[in-house]
Structure 1
Amino acid sequence: MLEQLLIFTRGGLILWTCKQLGNALKGSPIDTLIRSCLLEERSGAASFDYTASGAAYTLKWTFHNELGLVFVAVYQKILHLLYVDELLAMVKQSFAEIYDPKRTVYDDFDETFRQLRKEAEARAEEMKKSKQVGKPVSSGKKQGQVQKAGRGGDKQSNEGGLASDGGDGNAVKGRRLENGISNGNHVVSKESNVVGNANGKENTSSNLGAFDVNKLKSRSKVGKKTEKTATLDSKGSKAEAKKKITKKNRVWDDAPQEVRESKLDFTDTKGENADNNIEVVAADHGESMMDREEDYSSESDAEEEEEVGKESKPDPKKKGWFSSMFQSIAGKANLERSDLEPALKALKDRLMTKNVAEEIAEKLCESVAASLEGKKLGSFTRVSSTVQAAMEEALVRILTPRRSIDILRDVHAAKEQRKPYVVVFVGVNGVGKSTNLAKVAYWLQQHQVSVMMAACDTFRSGAVEQLRTHARRLQIPIFEKGYEKDPAVVAKEAIQEAKLNGSDVVLVDTAGRMQDNEPLMRALSKLIYINNPDLVLFVGEALVGNDAVDQLSKFNQKLADLSPSPNPRLIDGILLTKFDTIDDKVGAALSMVYISGSPVMFVGCGQSYTDLKKLNVKSIVKTLLK
């Protein structure tokens, strides 16, 4: 049974709801659809499932892009209503005929909807009956077909459809077995001039010409000479390298303790002692890149305008130029899916070359197609430029955070409540969680925020020592309990210690774990459930493409499945690392934001403590579409 049908504008004004149904929806499925699907460019999907507040609904929708209207039908998830798609199409067509932008009340549409609904339900019943009444093929007829096929079996094989050994004399021997593996002889067609056998030899026709063996011998001699000279050169270069490189002496345990500490501390590249190292490093770091206002270069805009100007000039050599130019001048009545397909395919390929996951690129193109289909193409406008403009708007909408990501404001709000602001860093192995935790700590320090680190990576050897080194260089207190401890308990004790010491922020370092490692994911879920942090930050590499989708989706899924809470905490934000190594392959940022719905809060772009930036949405979008 249909629960509700609504018609509203893209601006959010509800024009009509079905009063005949009169069913009050549990929860807020329409708001969730708009927030989680339509605003996040997932409108190309066939349907949306809503499960909350003890209710389970399926929502289907369609657009009238020329009028800017949205039609949504809601029904119980357990039901499979076959007539909903057809009903939406009929309602869309009928409502468009009476729509007036100046009107806001359409009570006269109730009777029209009642007739349309009866008609759609009647058609669905007829389709069900026709499927049930459909006559199956009789067994006698099947037997006759089998016998007929059996009589002709001397000319055709059972699986491959090739001639058998006892069939046509002109056919080449060889048959595919039932498991798809050949019997040793290559099977070729009658028209082919090449006959292959099991040992891979080929008999070619005489018109291909003979091969000169002398040329091959001469080439092989030249190749051997070059190889010999190359090996001699490489040996000489290796010998010279060995002479030049001199290994420095290491100081081991038999040396005095003062010498041992100064020599074995390799964190200082200038070779100064450990005591002076803290002051020198703190003085040389400078201002964090997070506080620099990054202006998007106007040069790239100027270059883009030049390219657009070049593209707008007609090229008479191109086929069909006059017709496409005439179409762009005159405009087109309504855009159809066939008009959008070439531009969308080119756009999808471009996004994939920028490291956007294939699944995400396809969904984005589907969403853009749904938002443009049926829309009128303006005069002096190309389909490709219209599609690109729609995609640019979609990308900006996705990458722009839908909530505040001002951590400093949240820190001061938590300080007023006399509790520390807790940030948990999670992610897979080797992405740079500890290093970027130190960058965030340094940035907070510059804003007069007292920070404490919590070494909750009790799994990986050397993790505590690594964090201790960062803490010593930044002169930040660290809470540690060693290895093989419960990280949830360590984090809880660190938060209690921060309350006593008056620390404003606690940065919790966790062990790297793959998304499929259930014991470690269970431990992470326990840590988040017990300590209820203010921010769960996923640290991911900008180098990954399709794997970003798998990592984030499975992290969120595991956190939801393994949490004992009915409302589990998921990932709140993303820290993207190694952003300086990818050139223009910035698609991982889009893939991560799209699959999780969480914003990119920090971007790591180097190895020093100052190399932490905000995500420039405009720059990312321009790079993706360039």
Structure 2
Amino acid sequence: MLEQLLIFTRGGLILWTCRELGNALKGSPIDTLIRSCLLEERSGLASFNYDVPGANYTLKWTFHNDLGLVFVAVYQKIFHLLYVDDLLSMVKREFSAVYDPCRMDYSDFDDVYRQLRLEAEARAEEVKKSSKLGSRNIGKKQDNVQKTKYDQGGKRIGGGDLQNDGGDGDSGKGYKLENGNVNGSSFVEETKSKGGVNGKENQGSNNEGFDREKLKKIRSKGAKKNDTVAATTTTKGSKAEPNKKATKKNRVWGDATPQAKLDYTDPVSENGDKHVNVVPVNEGESMMDKEEVFSSDDEDEEEAEQAGNSAKAKTKPKGWLSSIFPSIVGKANLERTDLEPALKALKDRLMTKNVAEEIAEKLCESVAASLEGKKLASFTRISSTVQAAMEDALVRILTPKRSIDILRDVHAAKEQGKPYVVVFVGVNGVGKSTNLAKVAYWLLQHKVSVMMAACDTFRSGAVEQLRTHASRLQIPIFEKGYEKDPAVVAKEAIQEASRNGSDVVLVDTAGRMQDNEPLMRALSKLIYLNNPDLVLFVGEALVGNDAVDQLSKFNQKLADLSPSPNPRLIDGILLTKFDTIDDKVGAALSMVYISGAPVMFVGCGQSYTDLKKLNVKSIVKTLLK
């Protein structure tokens, strides 16, 4: 059953909604559609499912890009309404004919909509009946074919006796052989009479055509030759002396000199009775507080190059008028066939910049949906129009939808008398501990007291690594060693921070692959038990297509394994090794698109200051360059 049909502008102004239904929608499916699909550049999808407790809807939509209108139909998910697409296209056609930008009341469109809906339902019923009749007719034809082929005696009608035919219905070849092969001897006799046996023409195509005696002779020769080769190799090998195997020396444990202390996090003086104070590190101002200036030199060079190419194109003596004529007068309405070449070039360009193929394809579908039917302006090319639309789409995706100001949230938590908790999660070897220390260094520069929590109780050396960073930064660390429950360690660390008055607790967790369910269950328990203020996913900028799988499965596992009905998912992304990728910046786009979480930090070096914000304009320019 159709619940609602809504027409509104791209600016959010509702022009018309069907009044005869009168059913109030549960939840907010339209708002969710706008927020999750239309603003996230997922408008190229066929439909959207809205699932909340007590409400399961399916939403379908279409655009009139030239007028800037959006048509949305909402119906129950359990009903597969076949006429919705047809109804949307008819409503779009009829409403566009009466649309006036200065008009606000379209109550007279109710009668038109009722007629259109009856037509769409009747057409869907006709299609359903015709499909049923067609399937029945096909079944009857197959039954008739089987009945006319054979009678009850096993004889084919009009084709001779099957028993006399050798079982294959081929009366020309005529009979069965004694060994059960059908028509084989006649085929061999026929080939022999044609001189095809052992000839080049039939060699290898029929096993009966080989001379077996000749084949036996060839095999016997080959066996003798192999025996002689093996004999010569053994005689040669016997002359050579075998290499002597080096024996391993036994290690003497008692007389060995004692090893030097390997724990550099807790250095000892030469006397050995007191600890040496570690000099606090000071590497200057963090790059997080420096505004990165986007240079427009590349834009000027590209514009000059395009101007030069256009000048060369104008000097061509043949065909130049026909190529620029549509750009001068403008095209009536853009169609999908007009957009496909430019979209394919854009998709290939995005994939070369390490954007996942699935994400690049969805982006191109969304751009095509936003441009299809739109009138092309004068003196513009389709390729430049498509690129401008893609640039706007990328800026909307990479720009955070909600403001996450850590310093502001830290002070808000401090006023409430509790520490601000940040949990760092991610796969193995991406640099969680190192970038946790970079975040701690940045917070220290803003006069925020920080404590580290060593909750990686799985990897050997993880606690010592974090202890090294804590010693260099002169901040406290809470640790309980290895083989402990990380959720309990994090809970005790937060309690200790509350007693000590620490403003921020940075929780380091063990690296885990997205398919490791035991470790993912432990991570879900840690997040559920401690309810952190921020869950940061640490990912490599080099990861490429695997970014989609990592983030989607992390979010899925956190949702599935959490006992809470409203599970905590990933809130933000920290991209590491960003200085090693050159122009392959597509992982940032893939991660943001698949999770909806913004890139909050970018690691770009080995020192504590090498942490900065994501420059959206620079990333978009690099992706489209």
Q: Are 1:301 and 2:299 counterparts?
A: yes
Instruction: Give how far 1:282 is off.
Output: 1.2
- In 2, distance between residues paired with 1:459 and 1:476? 23
- In 1, distance between residues paired with 2:277 and 2:611? 22
Matches within 5 A, 1:345-424: 345-424=344-423
- In 2, distance between residues paired with 1:514 and 1:318? 61
Matches within 5 A, 1:17-416: 17-134=17-134, 135-136=137-138, 137-142=141-146, 151=169, 166=187, 254=257, 260-261=260-261, 265=264, 278-279=278-279, 282-283=281-282, 285-315=283-313, 321-416=320-415
Q: Which amino acid aligns with 2:37?
A: C
Matches within 5 A, 1:510-521: 510-521=509-520
- In 2, distance between residues paired with 1:98 and 1:546? 47
Instruction: Give how far 1:319 is off.
Output: 8.4
Matched with 2:5 is: 5
SS in 2 for 1:282: coil
Gap change, CA 1:368 and 1:302, over 3 Å in 2: same
Gap change, CA 1:296 and 1:109, over 3 Å in 2: same
- In 2, distance between residues paired with 1:121 and 1:105? 27
- In 2, distance between residues paired with 1:513 and 1:154? 70
Matched with 2:252 is: none
Gap change, CA 1:492 and 1:266, over 3 Å in 2: closer
User: Do the aligned partners of 2:400 and 2:598 also contact (CA within 8 Å) in 1?
Assistant: yes
Q: Deviation string for 1:380-434 (max 9, x for gaps)?
A: 0000000000000000000000111211111111111111000000000000000
Instruction: Give how far 1:600 is off.
Output: 0.2
Matched with 1:457 is: 456
Matches within 5 A, 1:464-479: 464-479=463-478
Gap change, CA 1:305 and 1:140, over 3 Å in 2: same
Q: Are 1:546 and 2:550 counterparts?
A: no
Q: Which amino acid aligns with 2:4?
A: Q
Instruction: Give how far 1:308 is off.
Output: 2.6
Q: Structure 1, unaligned stretches of length 5 or more?
A: 156-163, 174-183, 188-197, 199-251
- In 1, distance between residues paired with 2:18 and 2:31? 17
Q: Deviation string for 1:434-472 (max 9, x for gaps)?
A: 010000000000100000000001111111111111111
Gap change, CA 1:433 and 1:64, over 3 Å in 2: same
SS in 1 for 2:573: strand
Q: Are 1:598 and 2:602 counterparts?
A: no
User: Do the aligned partners of 1:314 and 1:321 also contact (CA within 8 Å) in 2?
Assistant: no
Instruction: Give how far 1:545 is off.
Output: 1.2
Instruction: Give how far 1:376 is off.
Output: 0.2
SS in 2 for 1:493: helix
Matched with 1:220 is: none
- In 2, distance between residues paired with 1:314 and 1:383? 19
Gap change, CA 1:138 and 1:459, over 3 Å in 2: same
Matches within 5 A, 1:521-536: 521-536=520-535
- In 1, distance between residues paired with 2:317 and 2:615? 37
- In 1, distance between residues paired with 2:427 and 2:593? 19
Instruction: Give how far 1:322 is off.
Output: 3.0
Instruction: Give how far 1:548 is off.
Output: 0.3
Matched with 1:433 is: 432
Instruction: Give how far 1:144 is off.
Output: 5.6
- In 2, distance between residues paired with 1:50 and 1:535? 26
User: Do the aligned partners of 1:49 and 1:77 also contact (CA within 8 Å) in 2?
Assistant: yes
Instruction: Give how far 1:318 is off.
Output: 10
User: Do the aligned partners of 2:265 and 2:464 also contact (CA within 8 Å) in 1?
Assistant: no
SS in 1 for 2:50: strand
- In 1, distance between residues paired with 2:623 and 2:56? 37
Identity of aligned residues (%): 78
Task: Single out whichever of 83-92 and 464-473 deviates more from structure 2.
Answer: 464-473
Instruction: Give how far 1:311 is off.
Output: 3.4
- In 2, distance between residues paired with 1:371 and 1:554? 30
Q: Deviation string for 1:595-621 (max 9, x for gaps)?
A: 000000000011111110100000000
- In 2, distance between residues paired with 1:129 and 1:26? 34
Gap change, CA 1:534 and 1:255, over 3 Å in 2: same
Gap change, CA 1:102 and 1:507, over 3 Å in 2: same
- In 1, distance between residues paired with 2:601 and 2:462? 22
Matched with 1:568 is: 567
Instruction: Give how far 1:89 is off.
Output: 0.1
Rg larger for: 2
User: Do the aligned partners of 2:455 and 2:490 also contact (CA within 8 Å) in 1?
Assistant: yes
Matched with 1:612 is: 611
User: Do the aligned partners of 1:278 and 1:474 also contact (CA within 8 Å) in 2?
Assistant: no
- In 1, distance between residues paired with 2:524 and 2:70? 39
- In 1, distance between residues paired with 2:445 and 2:170? 87
Matched with 2:176 is: none
Gap change, CA 1:413 and 1:129, over 3 Å in 2: same
Task: Single out whichever of 141-150 and 484-493 deviates more from structure 2.
Answer: 141-150
Gap change, CA 1:154 and 1:119, over 3 Å in 2: farther
Instruction: Give how far 1:304 is off.
Output: 2.2
Q: Deviation string for 1:212-238 (max 9, x for gaps)?
A: xxxxxxxxxxxxxxxxxxxxxxxxxxx
Q: Which amino acid aligns with 2:499?
A: L
User: Do the aligned partners of 2:265 and 2:467 also contact (CA within 8 Å) in 1?
Assistant: no
Instruction: Give how far 1:323 is off.
Output: 2.0
Q: Supply the RMSD in Å over aligned alpha carbons.
A: 2.8
Instruction: Give how far 1:145 is off.
Output: 7.3
Instruction: Give how far 1:154 is off.
Output: 9.8
- In 2, distance between residues paired with 1:562 and 1:322? 64
Q: How many aligned positions are there?
A: 534
Q: Which amino acid aligns with 1:61?
A: W
Instruction: Give how far 1:297 is off.
Output: 1.1
Instruction: Give how far 1:334 is off.
Output: 0.1
User: Do the aligned partners of 1:540 and 1:574 also contact (CA within 8 Å) in 2?
Assistant: yes
- In 1, distance between residues paired with 2:394 and 2:520? 31
User: Do the aligned partners of 2:452 and 2:470 also contact (CA within 8 Å) in 1?
Assistant: yes
SS in 2 for 1:78: coil
User: Do the aligned partners of 2:453 and 2:508 also contact (CA within 8 Å) in 1?
Assistant: yes
TM-score by length of 1: 0.81
Matched with 2:504 is: 505
User: Do the aligned partners of 1:296 and 1:618 also contact (CA within 8 Å) in 2?
Assistant: yes
- In 1, distance between residues paired with 2:372 and 2:87? 19
Q: Which amino acid aligns with 1:286?
A: G
Task: Single out whichever of 47-56 and 109-118 deviates more from structure 2.
Answer: 47-56
SS in 2 for 1:5: strand
- In 2, distance between residues paired with 1:88 and 1:150? 56
- In 2, distance between residues paired with 1:621 and 1:559? 30
